[in-house]
Amino acid sequence: GQQVMQIPQYQHVQEGEDFTTYCNSSTTLSNIQWYKQRPGGHPVFLIQLVKSGEVKKQKRLTFQFGEAKKNSSLHITATQTTDVGTYFCAGKAAGNKLTFGGGTRVLVKP
C-alpha cells in the first residue's frame, strides 16, 4: 500500500537558524498536504500542493512539491520558539485515502 515517510524524525534547531524537513511517498501523489501539531494539540492544516514542482510560501515557511509528485519539503527560515511542534505531511494518491507521514518533531533551542 501507499507509504509516506518523513525525515528527520526529530529536529533540534537553534533559534534563528533554518531547517528543512522532507516527505517521500512510495507512490505518485495527486496532492500533498502539510499540518502542524503543537504539543498537546491537534493537527492544523497549513497548505496543500497540487502541481508538479509547485512552491508556496507562508511567511517563513516554504513548501515545495517535487517534479515527480512523489516528494515534498518544508523549509523554515529564522526558526522561532513558536515553530515548536510536529509537522506532518499527508499524501493522497488518486482514489486513495490521505496517508500521513510519521511527522518531524521540532524542538527549538533558545
The span from the CA of 34 to the CA of 76, in Å, is 13
Task: Give the chain's end-to-end CA distance (angstroms, integer).
Answer: 41
With contacts defined by CB under 8 A, name the span among 12-20, 42-50, 62-70, 74-82 that binds other proteins: 42-50
Which of 31, 64, 71, 72 contacts other proteins by CB under 8 A? 31
Establish if 33 lies at the interface with other proteins (CB under 8 A).
yes
Selected range binding other proteins among 14-22, 64-72, 74-82, 94-102, rule: CB under 8 A: 94-102
Question: Which triple of cell numbers denotes residue 95?
Answer: 482514489
DSSP β-bridge partners for residue 34: 47, 89
Rounded distance between C-alpha atoms, residue 96 and residue 106, angstroms: 29
Binding residues for other proteins, rule: CB under 8 A, are 31, 33, 35, 41-45, 47-48, 50, 88, 92, 97-103, 105
